[in-house]
Chain A
Amino acid sequence: MIAKKRFAVPFIIWIIAGTVIPLASIAYYGFTSRSGGFTFANITAMFQHDHMQALGLSLLLALISTVICLVLAFPMAMVLRGSKYGKQGFLIFVIILPMWMNFLLRTMAWQVLLERQGVINSILVAMGLPRQEMMNTPGAIVLGMVYDFLPFMILPIYNTVSKIDNHLIEASYDLGASRVKTFTSVVLPLSVPGIVSGVTMVFIPALTTFVISNMLGGGKINLIGNIIEQEFTVNSNWYLGSGLSLVMMVFIIASMLLLQKFDKTGGENLI
Chain B
Amino acid sequence: MRKIFGRVYVVIIMLFLYLPILALIVLSFNEAKSMSVWKGFSLRWYEELFHSKLMVQAIANTFSIAILAALIATIIGTLAVLGLAAMKPRTETVLMGFNNIPMLNADIVTGIALMLFFLMFHWPRGYLTVLFSHTVFCIPYVILSVKPRLNKNTDKLFEAALDLGASERYAFRKIVLPELRPGIMSGFLLSFTMSVDDFIITYFTRGAGINTISTLIYSQVKVGIRPSLFALSTIVFVTALVVLVAVNLRQKRIDAKQAY
Contacts and interface: CB of A to CB of B under 8 A. Distances in A.
A109 B104 contact: no
B68 interface: no
A41 B209 CA distance: 34
A101 B10 CA distance: 20
A130 B246 CA distance: 46
B35 A23 contact: no
Contact of A270 (B6, B16, B103, B154): B103
A204 B204 CA distance: 18
Nearest to B101: A19
B204 A109 contact: no
A26 B113 contact: yes
A270 B132 CA distance: 23
A119 interface: yes
Contacts, number: 243
B61 interface: no
Interface in B192-234: 193, 197, 199-200, 204, 213-214, 217-218, 221-222, 225, 229-230, 232-233
Contact of B218 (A7, A9, A208, A211): A211
Nearest to B118: A22
B104 A110 contact: no
A19 B136 contact: yes
A254 interface: no
Interface in A45-99: 72, 75-76, 79, 82-83, 89, 91, 93-98
Interface size of B as a range = 35 or more
Interface in B24-70: 24, 27, 34-37
Interface residues of A, number: 88
B226 to A, nearest CB: 11
Interface of B: 6, 9-10, 13-14, 16-18, 20-21, 23-24, 27, 34-37, 76-77, 79-80, 82-87, 95-96, 98-110, 112-117, 119-120, 132-133, 135-136, 139, 141, 143-145, 154-155, 158-159, 172, 176, 190, 193, 197, 199-200, 204, 213-214, 217-218, 221-222, 225, 229-230, 232-233, 236-237, 240-241, 243-244, 248
Given A3-B86, A25-B117, 18 more contacts: A2-B172, A4-B83, A8-B95, A14-B139, A19-B113, A25-B113, A76-B13, A97-B240, A101-B233, A105-B229, A111-B221, A113-B20, A113-B23, A200-B104, A205-B106, A205-B107, A207-B106, A211-B199
